[in-house]
Amino acid sequence: MRSGGRGRVLPWGMATLSERLPENAPGRYYVDATCIDCDQCRAIAPEIFARNEASGLSVVAKQPLSAEELALAEEALTSCATASIGNDGA
Closest CA to 88 of 11, 4, 31: 31
Please state the closest distance from residue 18 (CB atom) to ligand SF4, in A: 16
Kindly report the backbone phi and psi dihedral angles of residue 71, in degrees, each rounded to the nearest multiple of 5, phi listed first: -65, -40
Site string for ligand SF4, 47-86 (x = CB under 6 A): -----------x---------------------x-x-xx-
Please state the closest distance from residue 6 (CB atom) to ligand SF4, in A: 22
Options 10, 38, 61, 70; binder of ligand SF4; rule CB under 6 A:
38
Q: How far is CA 18 from the centre of its chain?
A: 13
> Helices marked H in 14-66 — which ranges?
40-44
- According to the binding rule CB under 6 A, does residue 41 interact with ligand SF4? yes
The answer to whether 41 and 10 are in contact (CB under 8 A) is no
Q: Name the residues that contact ligand SF4, by CB under 6 A.
A: 31, 35-41, 58, 80, 82, 84-85
